[in-house]
Structure 1
Amino acid sequence: MPNPAVVAHRCYAGVAPENTVGAAVAAANHEGTTMLEIDVQPAACGTPVVIHDERLEGARRGRPLTDATGLVWETPLEDVQSAHVLGTAETVPTLEALLEAVPATVGINVELKNPGTTELRVGDALDVDERGRRQAVWQPFVERVVADCGAFDGELLFSSFCEGALAALRETAPAYAAAPLVWDDLAAGLEIAERYDCEAIHPPKNAIAGTDLARTEYAGRSATEPTVDVLERAHDAGRAVTVWTVESWLEAAQLAAAGVDGIIAEYPGLEGCVE
């Protein structure tokens, strides 16, 4: 059985200041890294920047995410770029700057996090009318992101918890690989993957039926066996399954044994988990 591909969650947020150029370069240079996972949303001018939280003053275990404040998409680009991440010298980069620093030998999973609004439809499979409205909200930002990715020669995959983002991606750049990020509604994730003929699907680590992890509470899912076998159904449809967020070698080994194709990992060193 092959080892799952290792995707560095926010460029291995467990050991480095997340979503920064320094973290990205270090993660890319780790031999076991297949892809980097990064989060993008717009600064006030619309330029895509690499940051996870809606607000610059978000926290990580009681520590400020940056030394700046405010909604990212209401903050001037120069102020976003000068914000220091987690008390380090690393600052919030633009998507373009991060991609320029990363070698094409590693892929990039660009998570379309937010187009600049507090009103998102996260994890929902939308009806036709709402789908069109949500796509329109995402379209300008997705176009900017795709444009900034154009010079990167490595593998690119776009993911999102929001169907509107995937709809906008398929309209803008249908040749790129795409994956819905799944929250608690596995059936909705599979429906969205089918609707946009996605190459992959990204469920939480406790959504894989038949594993010990499936009987643990995580990311809003209760500690009960999933009623939907997302791994079997995705594989039957020819889609890869990459799970988030894996934090130990034991979790990685369990998921590898179940047959997942990739793990989004918080730490480096989780490759080679198959005995």
Structure 2
Amino acid sequence: MVIAHRGFAGQFPENTVRSVRGAAAADAAMVEIDVQPTADGDVVAFHDRRLDDGGESRGVTDERGVVWERSTATVTSARVLGTEERVPLLSEVFEALPPAVGVNVELKNPGSDAIRPGEALGEPAREAARRRWQSFVTSVLAVADRFEHDVLYSSFCEGALAAVDSVAPGESLAVLVEPGGADAGATVARRYDVDAINHPLAVLRADATLPASLQTAADAVDASRYVWTVTDWRAADRALASGADGIIADYAGLTAYRDD
């Protein structure tokens, strides 16, 4: 399976209607997009904390400020990467995609700086994290439920997965594993009986095998395994040689050489 990372972010302005349409036209099986709220509580497709280049954000748009502190009108009028593409609502992403194309919704941020990505939380921290995410997750699910697409909900944050599991048990979940977080990822995978483990290429050992804890967890919950973020055919080859079920890629066609 080829999952288009932010809508093949190497080819199109990321997380936009143009990118998801381009990914669908390039035969991606699934499109991965990031979501977070605006100050008005609407769900938008956007990755960074800020619209500008403050902090660790990259200056993706011509607007300024923290996404969840700006109005929906401000966020959705922001131009992406110097193009005429705007930051879309999550509903616009779904509307732009044929129902046959799946959507990997990465739950990026619920509107808080206290989200603790990459951790397997103990109690009561896990319950506090679930509560922090629950309102936003409910809004995301309400949008997705209006459409027919298969949806996989992923996150680096256990609180996000806990909230989905609480609000809508049975939805497909994926744990996103940090480069140094194999053990934490394995714990979260088991805790929520996830459908997929999305892990970085860097977590693979020299012989293209997984760390034992992550492989054992994947086997225990019978999870599919997708490797991020793949940017060239060599990385795609290494990912697939590891036995992965697919790649989360910035470009289309990275596995085409295998069909030669």
Identify the TM-score tier after normalising by the shorter chain. Answer: over 0.9
Tell whether 2:225 aligns with 1:241: yes
SS in 2 for 1:203: strand
Root-mean-square deviation (Å): 1.8
Tell whether 2:174 aligns with 1:190: no
Return the offset for 1:228. 3.3
Q: Is the 8 A contact 1:257 1:274 kept in 2?
A: no
Return the offset for 1:235. 3.1
Q: Could you tell me how far apart the structure 2 residues matched to 1:233 and 1:117 are?
A: 30
Select 1:149's aligned residue among 144, 150, 154: 144
Share of identical aligned residues, percent? 44
For these two proteins, the number of residue pairs brought into alignment is: 256
Within-5 A mapping of 1:97-246: 97-183=92-178, 184-211=180-207, 227-228=211-212, 230-231=214-215, 233-246=217-230
- Equivalence for 2:253: 269
Amino acid at match of 2:71: P
Return the offset for 1:128. 1.7
Which structure is higher in RCO with an 8 Å CA cutoff and minimum separation 6?
A: 1
Q: Could you tell me how far apart the structure 2 residues matched to 1:91 and 1:195 are?
A: 37
- Equivalence for 1:15: 11
Q: Could you tell me how far apart the structure 1 residues matched to 2:92 and 2:146 are?
A: 11
Tell whether 2:25 aligns with 1:29: yes
Amino acid at match of 2:128: R
Any gaps of 5 or more consecutive residues in structure 1?
Answer: 215-225
Tell whether 2:95 aligns with 1:95: no
Q: 1:129 to 1:49 in 2, by over 3 A?
A: same
Return the offset for 1:57. 0.6
Q: Is the 8 A contact 1:208 1:230 kept in 2?
A: no
Return the offset for 1:262. 1.4
Return the offset for 1:208. 2.1
Q: Is the 8 A contact 1:7 1:262 kept in 2?
A: yes
Amino acid at match of 2:75: V
- 1:91-130: per-residue Cα shift (whole Å, max 9, x none)? 0000011111111111000000000011220100000200
Any gaps of 5 or more consecutive residues in structure 2?
Answer: none
Amino acid at match of 2:40: C
Q: Is the 8 A contact 1:44 1:77 kept in 2?
A: yes
Q: Could you tell me how far apart the structure 2 residues matched to 1:265 and 1:259 are?
A: 16
Q: Is the 8 A contact 1:160 1:181 kept in 2?
A: yes
